[in-house]
Structure 1
Amino acid sequence: MERTMEWAARAGHMRGIPRKLVFTAVGAFAKAVASLMNSTYVHNADTLIRLVRSRPPGVPLITVSNHMSTLDDPVMWGFKGFPSSDSKLARWVLAAEDICFKNAVYSYFFRLGKCIPITRGGGIYQEHMNEAIERLSDGAWLHTFPEGKVTQEDASIRRLKWGTASLIVRAPVTPIVLPIVHHGFQEVMPEKFIFGRRPPVPLCYKKINIFIGEPIEFDVPQLKQMAISQSHNGSFPRVGWPTTSDGLDEAAQRCLYSKISEHIQGVMESLRVFGKSFLKLPV
Structure 2
Amino acid sequence: MGRTMEWAARAEHLGGFPRKMVFTAVGAFAKAVASLLNSTYVHNADTLIRLVRSRPPGVPLITVSNHMSTLDDPLMWGFKGFPTFDAHCGRWVLAAEDICFRNALYSYIFRLGKCIPITRGGGIYQEPMNEALERLNEGAWLHTFPEGKVSQEDAPIRRLKWGTASLIVRAPLTPIVLPIVHHGFQEVMPEKYMFGRRPPLPLCNKRINIVIGEPMEFDLPKMRQMAISQSRNESFHSIGWPSISPDGLDEAAQRCLYSSISEQIRTALERLRSLGKSSLKS
TM-score by length of 1: 0.98
Shift of 1:242: 1.2
Per-residue CA distance 1:24-54 (angstroms, 9 max, x = gap) = 0000000000000000000000000000001
- Paired position in structure 2 for 1:189: 189
Letter in 1 for 2:45: A
Shift of 1:124: 0.7
Once superposed, what is the RMSD of the aligned Cα atoms?
0.8
Q: Secondary structure at the match of 1:181?
A: strand
Per-residue CA distance 1:164-222 (angstroms, 9 max, x = gap) = 00000001100000000000000000000010000000000000000000100112122
Unaligned runs of 5+ in 1: none
Letter in 2 for 1:262: E
Equivalent residue runs for 1:233-248 within 5 Å: 233-245=233-245, 246-248=247-249
Q: Secondary structure at the match of 2:174?
A: coil
- Paired position in structure 2 for 1:40: 40
Q: Secondary structure at the match of 1:20?
A: helix
1-structure distance, mates of 2:180, 2:37? 22
Letter in 1 for 2:4: T
- Paired position in structure 1 for 2:18: 18
Letter in 2 for 1:257: Y
Q: Secondary structure at the match of 1:77?
A: helix
Structure 1 outlier segments of 4+, above 4 Å: none
1-structure distance, mates of 2:119, 2:88? 26
- Paired position in structure 1 for 2:86: 86
Indicate whether 1:170 and 2:170 are aligned: yes
Shift of 1:234: 2.2
- Paired position in structure 2 for 1:278: 279
Unaligned runs of 5+ in 2: none
- Paired position in structure 1 for 2:117: 117
Letter in 1 for 2:273: R
Q: Secondary structure at the match of 1:182?
A: strand
Q: Secondary structure at the match of 1:233?
A: coil
Q: Secondary structure at the match of 1:76?
A: helix
- Paired position in structure 1 for 2:149: 149
Shift of 1:237: 2.9
- Paired position in structure 2 for 1:102: 102
Q: Secondary structure at the match of 2:228?
A: helix
1:236–1:254 CA contact under 8 A, matched in 2: no
- Paired position in structure 2 for 1:269: 270
Letter in 1 for 2:279: F
2-structure distance, mates of 1:48, 1:146? 18
Indicate whether 1:158 and 2:158 are aligned: yes
Q: Secondary structure at the match of 1:271?
A: helix
Count of residue correspondences: 281
2-structure distance, mates of 1:279, 1:205? 16
Letter in 1 for 2:267: G
Per-residue CA distance 1:89-108 (angstroms, 9 max, x = gap) = 00000000000001000000
Aligned-pair identity (%): 81
2-structure distance, mates of 1:212, 1:235? 38
TM-score by length of 2: 0.98
- Paired position in structure 2 for 1:223: 223
1-structure distance, mates of 2:234, 2:176? 29
2-structure distance, mates of 1:75, 1:163? 23
1-structure distance, mates of 2:220, 2:136? 15
2-structure distance, mates of 1:153, 1:32? 25
1-structure distance, mates of 2:237, 2:259? 13
- Paired position in structure 2 for 1:4: 4
